[in-house]
Amino acid sequence: MLKSRDDRATADDSSTISPMSSPSRLSPSSVDSSSPYLLRKASGDRRSLRPGAPSEPNEYNFNYRKRGLFLIINNKNFHPSTGQDTRDGTNVDAERLEERFQDLGFEVRRYNDVASSRMTKLLYEVAGYDHSDSDCFGCAILSHGIEGRIYATDGMLPLEILTLPFKGDRCPTLVGKPKLFFLQTCRASRIDRVLDLTDSVSDRSELSEELDQGGVPGIRKIPVEADFLFAYSTVPGYYSWRNNQDGSWFIQALCIVLENYGPKMELIHMLTQVNRIVAYEFESCSDEEFTERSKQMPCIVSLLTRYVYFRPKKPDIRD
């Protein structure tokens, strides 16, 4: 089990807290090969691939000339008025992310200590670019936060404001393409505790009691448009842990998985591995009793409609 080397592991939180008929038998020639739900035999000759060429029906088309742009917004230092502590270790996260997504073919742009007006302007400017030659778009935000809101260096911004410019009615050159957001922030102040698997049944009564007393899961907004993915470092309502020397648990695990499987494994499968690593292999080691042996569970919110593969570009696509 991975433990924090630094006894002062910290959290990225806010200090304020008609009936169908039976199917008839179809001959191979009568099957509609244009249907995206039918698995088709892959052609053995892929040498004819060119920018914008059709891809496999259940995968996003990643045969454009460029992989796409990937932004890293890395907030370490905050104005005193925010009441937020310095996020030591975040530069390690940013450097690892930059390397991993460059390896996957992205054009990576990193921005450190971004104020609210600049962050909003930056994302709206990027959404206004022509992404016609790109497979997708990606963005990682490393900062403090609470549910639905992220800290710039001088105050909070709603997450929805940051993603709004990339929706289909505002960014036509990314319509039908994945918009990937990786969010290393807290989502409130609760701390996830260690739970032995053998104790899981006995804890159901506690959950039932909480619901009987009026506790209900938090309602969160997610975009209704397709092709967005949000990979949160933690579930709603909880801390997100970060080591002052090694970086955050979530970004550490994400970069390990991308390094080993990035060009060959589907994205949701990779994020499931990230979930497992963070949930089972990390545990806090703190000098404060109330945070000792705490755990973390990442969260995937996917509105993707196809599979995402970061396969290497073919030479005739890049040229």
Q: Name the catalytic one among 144, 171, 255, 285.
A: 144
For domain 69-188+223-303, the CATH class is alpha beta
Q: Is 188 left (phi over 0), alpha (psi -120 to 50) or beta?
A: left
- Cα separation, 300 vs 282, in Å, equals 18
pLDDT value of position 226:
86
pLDDT value of position 301:
92
pLDDT value of position 261:
97
Place of tokens 């036509």: 172
pLDDT value of position 142:
95
Reply yes or no on whether 285 is catalytic. no
pLDDT value of position 154:
95
How far, in whole angstroms, is CA 62 from its chain's centroid? 19
- Cα separation, 167 vs 145, in Å, equals 22
Coil vs helix vs strand at 231: strand
Write down the H helix ranges in 82-228.
Answer: 90-103, 116-127, 159-163, 204-212
Residues of the chain below pLDDT 70: 1-55, 187-224, 236-244, 282-293, 316-319
- Cα separation, 165 vs 295, in Å, equals 34
Q: Is there a contact between 30 and 67 (Cβ–Cβ < 8 Å)?
A: no
Reply yes or no on whether 186 is catalytic. yes
Instruction: Please give the sequence-ordered ranges of beta strands (E in DSSP) within the chain, or none if there are none.
Output: 2-3, 10-11, 66-74, 107-112, 134-142, 145-146, 149-152, 155-158, 179-184, 192-193, 228-232, 241-243, 247-248, 282-283, 294-295, 299-302
Model pLDDT for residues 137-161, shown as the tens digit of each residue: 999 999 988 878 899 999 999 988 8
pLDDT value of position 229:
95
- Cα separation, 101 vs 138, in Å, equals 9
pLDDT value of position 235:
73
Q: Name the catalytic one among 136, 139, 186, 285.
A: 186
